[in-house]
Amino acid sequence: MSGNEEHFFEGAEKLLEIWFEETSCNNDDLRNISRSDWEDVLSQVNCEIISFSKNDLIDAFVLSESSMFVSKRRWILKTCGTTTPLKCLSQLIKLASLNGYKIITDLFYSRKNFIRPEAQVTPHKGFTEEVSYLDTLFPNGRSYCLGSMNLECWYLYTFSRSDMKLSPGHMINEGVESDPDQTIEILMQNLDQNAMSVFNKKNILSASDATSMSGIDKILPNMHIDDFLFDPCGYSMNGINEKGEYMTIHITPENLFSYVSFETNVAMTNYRNLINQVINTFKPGKFIVTIFANKCSLAYETMKELEVEYSKESHWKRTDMQCCNFPSYNLLFAQYSYNGKNNCSI
């Protein structure tokens, strides 16, 4: 980079999640895919593996640009910067087929609007281009935009096999029980710079120090944490527990484009306390919350709790809220901005 070019990094991630149909063979497992094969997949994305952790139910990879999680029949890839996650889909589908999974039941691709979309590369130069690319693989996919298209918004592309006919007069058996599934994302901007100073190597010696000093280790205390502090600044962590649940946090601390994302699939009947803990840890100026939950999830009905307007004593103003009902999932989307009051809870 020349001395005249301003440093910038796009913290907002592109998030892919794919579920494959259960098979009759107990040995079929996405975790059987070798590390070298994953490295080939990620080379299509323009990122690489930094660290790895696992337990009996889930494999977790810290990447040079965010994270990847692999369980028996679910794959999650979350990458920031100018990465190209959609480019790896064909290769991923082939690898899954070789490991027994030939049918995708659900696919979700989502991201927040970029600060500098012109810096992205094909097929991520715009959501229209991303949708066109995905449609070549999933002709029955559907695309959505939540929020304000000319301000802050969140894009979503979904594919569900339950929407499709297998053959004339035959539908997918909707009576088959799916695994409980839920995901909450909190996407934060305009972060407090004192909070962000912890994620700079000028101030902190190690990732573990950053994790403990920031309070990240207290957000979901039962997680086994694998963390990484970038040089000169930036931070990523994965957490996994014995239930196969995960959490992941990624931090771009630079003041002009600060960004923090928090994501977990931990099942809760109420997410308000978790949201408050996250925003009190990082102190954003504005943030977006998205919650996905399927009909088997504890969170499916209780998402309605967040639909209630928050106390007038809160220092957060809810600027937008939208709810969507999909064939198997409910989705809640909400935006908040700081209103200057002292109460730090929503």
CA distances from 166 to 98, 140, 160, 231 (A): 22, 13, 13, 51
Residue 261 tokens read as 């994302």
Q: HEC states along 20-57? A: ECCCCCCCCCHHHCCHHHHHHHHHCCCCCEEEEEECCC
**What is the spatial distance between Cα 198 and Cα 201, in angstroms, rounded to a whole number?**
8
Q: Please tell me whether 8 is known to bind a ligand.
A: no
Catalytic residue status for 66: yes
Task: Name the catalytic one among 67, 250, 258, 328.
Answer: 250
Q: In what order do the strands lie in the sheet with 316-325?
A: 224-229, 235-240, 246-252, 259-264, 182-189, 286-294, 329-338, 316-325
Task: Name the catalytic one among 47, 80, 88, 153.
Answer: 80
The candidate with the shortest Cα–Cα distance to 293, out of 332, 342, 260, is: 332
How many residues does the structure list for the chain? 346
Q: Please tell me whether 254 is known to bind a ligand.
A: yes
Backbone torsion region of residue 38, taken as left when φ is above 0, otherwise alpha when ψ lies between -120 and 50, otherwise beta = alpha
Task: Name the catalytic one among 67, 236, 258, 297.
Answer: 236
Task: Name the catalytic one among 64, 66, 160, 297.
Answer: 66
Q: Please tell me whether 6 is known to bind a ligand.
A: no
Catalytic residue status for 337: no
Torsional sign, CA 189, 192, 193, 194: negative
Instruction: For residue 321, give the DSSP letter.
Output: E
Residue type, 133: Y
Beta bridge pairs of residue 142: 158
**What is the spatial distance between Cα 223 and Cα 312, in angstroms, rounded to a whole number?**
34
Residues at the binding site for substrate are 9, 65, 230, 254
Residues at the binding site are 9, 65, 230, 254
- Catalytic positions are 66, 80, 236, 250
